Structure 1
Amino acid sequence: MKFRLVAVMVSAALLSACGLNSVPTAEENAKAKWAEVQNQYQRRADLIPNLVSTVRAAGGQEKAILVEVTQARAAATQVRVSDADLTDPAKLAAYDRVQAGVTLTLQRLQEAYPELKSQANYATLMSQLEGTENRIGIARRDYNEAVQSYNTTIRTFPDAIGAKVFYGAKPMVPFQATTPGADTAPKVDFGNAS
């Protein structure tokens, strides 16, 4: 009776040490880490075009206001009134019109100032780009660590026995950049290059 009890305990210990639980646990962990890599790529694919569109739209609105201010200022410098013109009502009226145009565009700029956000939007975009690339890098690293752990588990004794006999486990491939130019961050284009 004691012999059977000892034999059962030794068999249980041997089976538990043969990777019956550790192999699938390590495999599922590596698969979950790969899913996170894909999740971060999807996040980047969804986020960056939306951020670029937002920045581009805000920049376009601000550009229009600044162009109006520049044009009004240029028009104002074209009309000159000399001492001799101080008696000519038409020249003074023309001068007053262009100066009023500058005043009007400056008022529009002041009214829009709280809404002018391109600088902050660019800063947010840069921060999001950096954060996104960091998240992707961390997800890749975590996946590679999980793959290393899994591959080590299925190759070391005693888990290798269970890995081969019960699961037919094969080593997983760690993440490697294979796309040409993958070692270079993607170019962000706002469509305003000259």
Structure 2
Amino acid sequence: MTSALCAVLFSLITWQVLADGPLLAPDRALSRALVRAVPDSVTERLADLGNVQVAVPVLALAMAYALRRGRRLAALAAGAAMALVPALIVPLKEWTARPGPLEPWAAGYFPSGHTATALTAYTAAALLLAPHTRRRWPLPAAAALTALTAAGLVLRGFHWPLDVLASLLLCTPLLLGVRWAAGRSTRRSSG
């Protein structure tokens, strides 16, 4: 059900972007209200949390830990989810060719690759680590890192709010697959 809802909402937003639909007016208004509301030096660092060089090593370490704990299926699912991010995002950016909030002459802002990278890397890492921690900090930490990335991208003017939302919707089904695999790996390793 969750994956289907994400697909429907993602399709609706993509259609609005392609058709310059009515959802883009509040998207633009929200962006105008938020861009540069926080100093660039802060928002650029937040946006950088979604860089491949920052987020993917976190996932790689969690995958290595999961492999060491005998959770191959979970580690493989997390790696596959991360590999699917550019395979999905890059063609969508080319197809939609949405201009950026501060660079109307440029194209390729929809959906947000940084948001997709942050959400997938940090959440998949949290799903791999969660069964091995006494406290439940990994998922809230992943949510916070993703939210900070998204906020930095919108506040700095690197992405429209709908670009960020679309990436969250696009990657959620990938992470549901990682959660399923992590659950199976946990049962096998404890059984």
Structure 2 length-normalised TM: 0.31
Larger radius of gyration: 1
Structure 1 length-normalised TM: 0.31
Looking at both structures, which has the greater relative contact order when contacts are Cα pairs under 8 Å and sequence separation is at least 6? 1
